[in-house]
Amino acid sequence: MMAKKAPNPIDKHVGSRVRMRRMMLSMSQEKLGNSLGLTFQQVQKYEKGTNRVGASRLVQIADVLKVPITSLFAGVDRHATKDTKSPQELLADTAALKLLKGFGDISDRSLRSALVHLVTHIAQKGR
């Protein structure tokens, strides 16, 4: 049996930028897909980096999302490892967004500091 090929980090990055912008516009995957003549499943695959987005489709996506095409490549790190997540990828992650919103609601500086310390400690243990 052949091993499944991992998505290219740049495809993942571009997909996360598409997802982030789509979410900023409160647009569903279905609505974006309809605007492009695609299913929401295809949009999902683009956003995950599972499927590559062709140049003409990237132009269409940028038009629908009302951004310059270059913004979809902003922050690309061609030397990043597969394990490294960019801030844009994190902002496209629903759980990370919830965590960030919750963190913003904590007004006590010592609690915020303790939370940062806890998350940092957990992340180091997981490596």
Query: Per the domain annotation, does 113 fall within a domain?
Result: no
Query: Per the domain annotation, does 97 fall within a domain?
Result: no
Work out the mean pLDDT of the chain and round it to a whole number. 86
pLDDT in tens, 53-80: 999 999 999 999 999 999 998 887 665 5
Q: pLDDT at residue 83 above 80?
A: no
DSSP 61-91: HHHHHTS-GGGGTTT--TT--TT---HHHHH
Number of separate domains in the chain: 1
Query: Per the domain annotation, does 101 fall within a domain?
Result: no
Q: Where residue 34 sits, what CATH number does that domain have?
A: 1.10.260.40
Q: pLDDT at residue 99 above 90?
A: no
State the residue range of the domain holding 44.
9-92
Q: pLDDT at residue 123 above 90?
A: no
Report the percentage of the chain scoring pLDDT > 90: 51
